[in-house]
Amino acid sequence: MDAKTFREIFTTFAKVGMLTFGGGYAMLPLLQKDVIEGKGWATEEEVMDYYAISQCQPGMMFVTISSYIGYNRFGTMGAVAATAGVVTPSVVIIMILAAFLREFLTYPLVEQAFAAVRIAAAALVISAVVKLVKKGVKDIPALVLCVVGFLLCAFGVIGVVPLILLSAVDGILLHTPQRRAAKAEEVGK
């Protein structure tokens, strides 16, 4: 990989890291805007798949999601560039705060700004979900899976990993016969 591509991946993910408030899922609106629509480095479906796999493995979702996307188009160095990009703003901001502004959070202006930014982060995540559902949930079984996933997760009925395994099995049970039937029909013609 040439230095220019590395820089491009790094800065794109640095922007995502700098503007994400509140966990790996809060990256999604920024990924949609900059990485999926802006650069075309992954599709919406691929990013969903990466979220599913990331849920089931240890480690920070910021790093795992960025690595998957970086690897997807650019291989190992892409994963390194994306990860370095997504963590660098954090490291720099915290260094500055730790070195010079330890009382940072107690300034009223900062507190007020952050309180409102958290509200914006919530609105951005909800809008990202609206986008996902509009694009990805096209039939009744998908809608059922989506609603069940939401309810089980929102009320903490089962853990995330069992939920993901269950929906994968569901996908196989629902879609495999459909696919086979479509294929049989094609062969019949």
Only one residue has tokens 């479509």, namely 182
Decide: is 11 part of the binding site for other proteins (CB under 8 A).
Answer: no
CA 61 to chain centre: 8
Q: For residue 41, give the amino acid letter.
A: W
Residues 83 to 102 in contact with other proteins, rule: CB under 8 A: 83, 86-87, 89-91, 93-95, 97-99
35 in Cβ contact with 69 (< 8 Å): yes
Q: Packing angle between helix 44-55 and helix 108-136, nearest 10 degrees?
A: 110
Report, in Å, the least distance between residue 52 CB and other proteins. 4
**Given the complex with other proteins, which of 1 and 153 has the nearer CB atom?**
153
Decide: is 132 part of the binding site for other proteins (CB under 8 A).
Answer: yes
The number of CA neighbours under 13 Å toward the Cβ of 116 is 5
Q: Where are the alpha helices (DSSP H) in the chain?
A: 3-19, 28-30, 44-55, 61-100, 108-136, 140-154, 160-188
**Given the complex with other proteins, which of 1 and 120 has the nearer CB atom?**
120
Candidate residues 7, 158, 175, 181; the one interacting with other proteins per rule CB under 8 A: 175
Decide: is 142 part of the binding site for other proteins (CB under 8 A).
Answer: yes
User: In sequence order, what are the residues at sequence separation of 6 or more whose Cβ sits closer than 8 angstroms to the Cβ of residue 31?
Assistant: 16, 42, 47, 65, 69
79 in Cβ contact with 85 (< 8 Å): no
Decide: is 28 part of the binding site for other proteins (CB under 8 A).
Answer: yes
Report, in Å, the least distance between residue 84 CB and other proteins. 8
Three-point CA angle 33, 35, 36, nearest 5°: 75
Report, in Å, the least distance between residue 7 CB and other proteins. 19
Candidate residues 1, 7, 39, 105; the one interacting with other proteins per rule CB under 8 A: 105
Residues 45 to 84 in contact with other proteins, rule: CB under 8 A: 45, 48-49, 51-53, 55, 57-64, 67-68, 71-72, 76, 79-80, 83
**Given the complex with other proteins, which of 7 and 75 has the nearer CB atom?**
75
